[in-house]
Every structure is written in C-alpha cells, then in structure tokens.
Amino acid sequence: MAKNEHPQASIDWASAEVRGGDLTVALAGEANADWAERLQAIVERLDRSGSAWGATKVSKAKVTVEAVGAGAEEDLRHLLDGAVQQANADFAPEVQDDAGDEPSEEDSAMTEAFRSFAADEPSD
C-alpha cells in the first residue's frame, strides 16, 4: 500500500492556541492534501450561519478558525472532531469480507429466529 493511500488524522488539542480570537490547532497523524480538502468540505457543510466563529481553513498540518467567540469552545470542538471522524471514515480502507456471500449456518439460524418474531407481533 502506498504511503498516505488511507490518510488518517486527529486534532491535537494540546497544541491549540488562540490569538486575536483566531484558533489554530495542529493535526496529528497522516493527513494529505486530499484529506485536508475533504475535511474542509465537511466543515463547510456542517457549519451553520450564525455560529459563534468565522471561517475555517484546513491544511495538511493545521486547522485555523477565525473570530472564535468566548463560550463557543465546546460547540466548535464538537464540529471539528465530528468532521475529522467523517474524513477518516471517508479515507478508511474497505473491509474485505473473506467469508464470502453465503451466510454461515449459525447466521442463517439466527436470521430465522429473528424473523419469527414478526409472527408474534399483533396486527393492526
């Protein structure tokens, strides 16, 4: 697998610094330009007008948020952490199902057991 084929990163909250109301926080891990671009798009999609902060800029190394208002720390952290989780999920390697397409006997038996509950439900 090529390096950064499946980039994954996290926000290094210990590096957070606010100057003049602008937050800068480093990214830890293996972010690349595609990952940073995806994170930027996710943040833009999730952010709402009227937020207690301004524009967000994402690079491979850091996230900068302009004009962060006092008291907005938890909401902004929630937005950024959620966006990072989504970006990581978007770049995660696909899980290979080595078991094949056919369910095991045990899975088939449990499926039938669960489906039998439908017969127990009262009809309208």
Q: What is the pLDDT of residue 32?
A: 96
Q: Which residues contact 110 (CB under 8 A, 6 or more apart)?
A: none
pLDDT in tens, 88-116: 999 998 876 665 678 888 998 998 889 88
pLDDT tens readout for residues 42-75 = 999 999 888 999 999 999 999 999 999 999 999 9
pLDDT of residue 103: 84
Residue 105, classed as helix, strand or coil, is helix
pLDDT of residue 1: 40
Q: 4 exposed, middle or buried (CB, 10 Å; 0-12, 13-18, 19+)?
A: middle
> What is the predicted pLDDT for the residue at 52?
96
Mean pLDDT, rounded, for 6-15 = 96
Tokens of 74: 């938890």
Rounded to 5 degrees, what are φ and ψ at 37?
Answer: -65, -40
CA distances from 51 to 72, 73, 95, 107 (A): 8, 11, 37, 47
Record the pTM.
Answer: 0.74
